[in-house]
C-alpha cells in the first residue's frame, strides 16, 4: 500500500525525530505529517527531519506545511524567502490578470523551496472570500472580496504549486470568510441563508473541486446545521461532497483549535464520524497523539481510495527559480 491506513496527520515535537515518536508513527501509520516553526531550523535539518518521518512509516508519506506568505509562513528568512501577505499582493497587482500571474509564479518558487527540503504539500490555496465580518486573523491571508476573483487566484496558486511538485490543500472548506472570531480560540456561528452561502462562500471551492486535497472549517453554518461545526457535521460534509462536488481527500483543520469542544479523542471521533477522511493533530504532544490515533482509527475503503488518488497526484517539479524570480522582478 502506498499510503498509511491511519486516518490521521500528525506533527512532531521539535527539530529532530524522537525515538518514541518514531515507534509511535510506525504503529499508528498516519497518512502523513505536518511541520511547524518549532520543527524548522535550517535546510539541512529540515531535510533530515522529513527523511526521518518517512523512514519511520517506511514509505513516501506526504509532509505538509502552512506556507501562505505573510504572517502564516513556517519557513522564513534567512534560509527561505519572505513573502507579502496574499491579499496585499493581490490588491497591489493592479488587475486580476496580473495578480493571477504573480501568485502563480510565487507559488512555484514556494514549491521549489519546499520540495528542496522534503515538503510536498502546502495548505493553500486559501479560498475564503473576504467579507466585512472577516476576522483579522484571516483577512489578509485571503485572495479577494468576491468569489470569482478568489477562484481565479486560487487556481493560479494551485497550478504554481503543482508545477513545482507540491500538492495544494485548499482551505477552509466550505468557506471561512464570515467568521467574526478567531477559531483558534472560539467557535463562530454563520447566520446567513443557504442561498447566499452557495452564491458566495461555497463558490470558489466548487470551481476548484477537482483539486486532490482540502481542509475543513471549524464554523457553524446555522442555516444547514445549527448544532455542529462543519468539521463535525454530517450535513456539512454532504454539502462538501454533493453541492460543492469535492471528491478528493478531506482533512480537518487542527483538532487542537478551541472552536471544537470535548477531549481530543472526542474531537477526532466526531470528525471521522461526520465523514471527514483525515483528522489533523498539529501539536506534537505524544499523549494527545495516542488519544487521537485511537479515536480516529483506520481509513475505510472510500477514504483509502481518495488518499491513494491524492498521493498519485504528486508530480516531479521542475521550476527554474532564477528565471521565475526574474519574471516577478519585472512585474
User: What CA–CA distance (Å, rounded) separates 26 from 55?
Assistant: 9
Q: Is the pLDDT of residue 282 over 90?
A: yes
Per-residue pLDDT, 51? 98
CATH superfamily of 6-329: Glycoside hydrolase, family 3, N-terminal domain (3.20.20.300)
* C-alpha cell of residue 268: 477526532
Q: Phi and psi at residue 254, in whole multiples of 5°? A: -55, 130
Q: Is the pLDDT of residue 71 over 60?
A: yes
Tell me, what DSSP letter sits at residue 276? -
User: What CA–CA distance (Å, rounded) separates 143 from 107?
Assistant: 13
* DSSP helix/strand/coil, 258: coil
* C-alpha cell of residue 124: 493553500
- The pLDDT of 78-100, averaged and rounded, is 96
* DSSP helix/strand/coil, 82: coil
Q: Is 171 in contact with 253 (CB distance < 8 Å)?
A: yes
Is this model's pTM higher than 0.75 or not?
yes
Q: Where are the alpha helices (DSSP H) in 198-245?
A: 203-207, 234-238
Q: pLDDT category, 180, cuts 50, 70, 90?
A: confident
Would you kindly state where each structural domain of the chain is located, as residue ranges?
Answer: 6-329
Query: How far from the centroid of its chain's Cα atoms is residue 119's Cα?
Result: 13
In sequence order, the 6+-apart residues with CB closer than 8 A to the CB of 288 are 256, 264, 281
Mean pLDDT (the chain) is: 96
pLDDT tens for each residue of 47-59: 999 999 999 999 9
- The pLDDT of 73-96, averaged and rounded, is 96
Q: Is the pLDDT of residue 295 over 60?
A: yes
User: What CA–CA distance (Å, rounded) separates 103 from 124?
Assistant: 11
Per-residue pLDDT, 120? 97
Q: Is the pLDDT of residue 61 over 90?
A: yes
* C-alpha cell of residue 36: 511547524
- The pLDDT of 180-204, averaged and rounded, is 91
Per-residue pLDDT, 181? 80
User: What CA–CA distance (Å, rounded) separates 309 from 297?
Assistant: 20
Cα dihedral 307, 212, 286, 56, rounded to 10, equals: 60
Residues marked as catalytic:
184, 253
Q: Is the pLDDT of residue 1 over 70?
A: no
Amino acid at each position: 500500500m502506498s499510503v498509511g491506513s491511519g486516518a490521521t496527520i500528525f506533527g512532531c515535537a521539535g527539530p529532530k525525530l524522537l525515538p518514541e515518536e518514531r515507534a509511535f508513527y510506525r504503529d499508528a501509520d498516519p497518512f502523513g505529517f505536518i511541520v511547524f516553526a518549532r520543527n524548522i531550523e535550517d535546510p539541512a535539518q529540515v531535510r533530515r527531519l522529513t527523511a526521518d518521518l518517512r523512514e519511520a512509516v517506511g514509505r513516501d508519506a506526504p509532509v505538509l506545511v502552512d506556507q501562505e506568505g505573510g504572517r502564516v509562513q513556517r519557513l522564513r528568512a534567512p534560509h527561505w524567502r519572505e513573502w507579502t501577505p496574499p491579499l496585499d499582493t493581490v490588491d497591489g497587482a493592479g488587475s486580476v490578470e496580473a495578480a493571477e500571474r504573480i501568485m502563480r509564479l510565487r507559488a512555484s518558487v514556494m514549491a521549489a523551496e519546499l520540495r528542496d527540503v522534503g515538503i510536498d504539500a502546502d495548505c493553500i490555496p486559501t479560498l475564503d472570500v473576504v467579507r466585512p465580518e472577516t476576522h483579522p486573523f484571516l483577512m489578509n491571508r485571503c485572495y479577494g472580496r468576491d468569489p470569482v476573483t478568489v477562484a481565479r487566484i486560487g487556481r493560479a496558486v494551485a497550478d504554481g504549486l503543482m508545477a513545482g511538485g507540491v500538492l495544494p490543500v485548499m482551505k477552509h472548506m466550505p468557506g471561512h470568510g464570515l467568521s467574526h472570531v478567531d477559531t483558534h480560540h472560539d467557535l463562530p456561528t454563520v447566520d446567513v441563508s443557504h442561498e447566499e452561502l452557495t452564491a458566495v462562500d461555497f463558490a470558489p471551492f466548487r470551481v476548484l473541486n477537482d483539486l486532490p486535497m482540502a481542509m475543513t472549517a471549524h464554523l457553524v453554518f446555522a442555516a444547514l446545521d445549527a448544532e455542529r461545526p462543519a468539521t463535525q457535521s454530517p450535513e456539512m460534509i454532504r454539502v462538501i461532497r454533493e453541492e460543492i462536488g469535492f471528491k478528493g481527500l478531506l482533512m480537518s483543520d487542527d483538532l487542537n483549535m478551541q472552536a471544537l469542544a470535548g477531549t481530543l479523542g472526542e474531537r477526532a471521533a466526531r470528525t471521522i464520524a461526520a465523514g471527514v477522511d483525515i483528522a489533523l493533530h498539529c501539536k506534537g504532544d505524544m499523549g494527545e497523539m495516542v488519544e487521537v490515533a485511537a479515536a480516529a482509527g483506520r481509513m475505510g475503503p472510500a477514504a483509502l481510495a481518495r488518499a491513494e488518488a491524492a498521493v498519485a497526484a504528486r508530480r516531479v517539479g521542475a521550476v527554474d527559480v532564477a528565471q521565475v524570480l526574474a519574471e516577478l522582478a519585472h512585474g
